Amino acid sequence: MSDLICPFSATLAKDDFACKHAEQIIRRGGAEFACRSGPQHADCRGLFEQLKNVALPLFDLEDDLLQVPHGVLQKIQFGGLLGLQRLIADRPGDKVDDIASLVESASAHFGGMDAIPHDRLAGDITRYQLARRRRR
């Protein structure tokens, strides 16, 4: 299961996002989330890859693990999911109750994972504002 790390782990660390298939695992670097469903993980991974394909050029970046700032990956995760929720439920907001259900609903709504209009999520991703760190 440890190879099924959730591609939306950053969102799960925030209390406003949840997933019925997520299981928190503790590692030396902190907490991560694994998926208990292989098929769901594949769908979420595919969605995240498509979101990166749309978003990285907007930030003038290439898909390089050593070059893409962590903040950009977080904007893709948060903004992408919130934008997807806006598209299928016409419900803007700042939380997602169940990522798996959202992805399943989006697939059903658009007629498959490949039919999701990822390009319509670009604005949601670029406009998403990460919470600022507090200074000590």
58-63-68 Cα angle (round to 5): 75
pTM strictly above 0.85: yes
d(CA 62, CA 55): 10
Q: Does 15 reside within a domain?
A: no
d(CA 133, CA 88): 32
* Residue 35 CA, distance from chain mean position: 13
Q: Give how far Cα 51 sits from Cα of 55, 62, 135, Å.
A: 6, 13, 31
Q: Does 111 reside within a domain?
A: yes
Range of lowest pLDDT (58-67, 95-104, 112-121) = 58-67
Q: Does 23 reside within a domain?
A: no
d(CA 108, CA 36): 21
Q: Does 83 reside within a domain?
A: yes
Q: Does 105 reside within a domain?
A: yes
Q: Does 22 reside within a domain?
A: no
Q: Does 11 reside within a domain?
A: no
Number of domains in the chain: 1
Q: Residue 25: helix, strand or coil by DSSP?
A: strand
Q: Does 132 reside within a domain?
A: no
pLDDT digit string (tens) for 36-93? 999 999 999 999 999 999 999 999 998 887 789 989 999 999 999 999 999 998 777 8
Q: Which domain holds residue 74?
A: 37-127
Cα dihedral 50, 75, 104, 101, rounded to 10, equals 170
